[in-house]
Amino acid sequence: MSLIKGARAMRLAKVAMLVSLVGIAATGCSSEEVLRFGWPKAVTEQGERMRELWTGSVIAALIVGVLVWALIFWSVAFHRKRKNSPDMPRQTQYNLPLEIGLTVLPMIIIVVLFYYAVVTQNFVNKKIANPDVKVDVVATQWNWVFSYPETKTANGEVVRTSGDNATIPLLVLPTSKTIQYTISSGDVIHSFFVPEFNFKRDVFPRPEKNNTDNVFQNKIDREGAFIGHCAELCGTYHGMMNFEVRALSPDKFDRYMKLRASTNPKTAKPYSAAEALTEMNCGDLCKPEAVTTYPFTTKRDARTPSERGETR
């Protein structure tokens, strides 16, 4: 009888495995996409480390789930009342080894997950003493101002970029360099969120008075244009408070900053972000307008649906 039960269990396991493989193949996902379990593909070292924690946590949860499901199905299949038998299945209780195992195993899982969560958090929040680039980020209703405090224009002012009703603010950053962000708000609470960073941090007014850590660092792995949002409801036009990160290779970024620090001979003024990118003429990465925020409107002070570009 036990052999028959064992054979049935093996058949069920094979069928379950086949169904799982067919399901994965039917999605058309690569192995790398499957292991992300829906987690967005990060463009920073910190985001990838968080993805690894997510993958490990989901795999651990699936193992526990499969074990629980297997025990449930085993009980349903082999410990139920038989149709032609007047007797109830054999009842068991007070299984001390099982109860100890069901107490100890979850504790081990919690301790392991806690350990890796702390290690990942420390890596994400780690700061080095001398980052390659420093950026000050100021959020206001409903705009962003990005400043490079270590770079001055020809007239001695800090290089600064902000958005208006014609342009979405562009945050130009280098790849393969450690970037330090110092975030603050000019009015209410906002939130700095770039999905490809897998990172969001609330932006408080007067952070030194709110006991908040308003400085973080990351390193971008590849070039590209990535949309950024305010992820904290901050007023009427919160939905329009977007920006764009433009990640350039170090040589392109150096050229961009040199242009921002110099004077445009056509205007006799320091190069704006749009003028510097246009002057560089390096394809889509150097377009002076945002390329990821369509169909969002740039109008941050519009008052009517038609002014905001909304249609019914």
- β-pairing, 170-174 vs 242-248, is parallel
Residues 118 and 219 in one domain: no
In a domain, 299, yes or no: no
- β-pairing, 133-140 vs 263-264, is unpaired
Q: In degrees to the nearest 10, what's the CA dihedral of 107, 109, 114, 117? A: -170
In a domain, 106, yes or no: yes
Q: How far apart are CA 151 and CA 23, in angstroms?
A: 54
Angle 69-74-77 (CA atoms, 0-180°, nearest 5)?
A: 120
Residues 241 and 145 in one domain: yes
pTM over 0.85: no
Residues 122 and 138 in one domain: no
In a domain, 167, yes or no: yes
63-86 confidence digits (pLDDT tens):
989 988 988 888 887 777 777 777
In a domain, 251, yes or no: yes
Can you give the residue range of the structural domain that contains 52?
25-77+94-126
189-217 confidence digits (pLDDT tens):
999 999 888 889 999 988 777 778 889 99
Residues 154 and 248 in one domain: yes
CB atoms within 10 A of CB 214: 19
Residue 94 Rama label (left phi>0; alpha psi -120 to 50; beta): left
The predicted structure's pLDDT at residue 302: 52
Residues 204 and 228 in one domain: yes
Q: Which of 88-102, 126-140, 246-260 has the lowest mean pLDDT?
A: 88-102
Residues 111 and 142 in one domain: no
Number of domains in the chain: 2
Q: How far apart are CA 237 and CA 250, in angstroms?
A: 35
Residues 72 and 145 in one domain: no
The predicted structure's pLDDT at residue 141: 85
Amino acid residing at 273: A
Residues 120 and 140 in one domain: no
Which has the closest alpha carbon to 242: 232, 230, 224, 226? 230
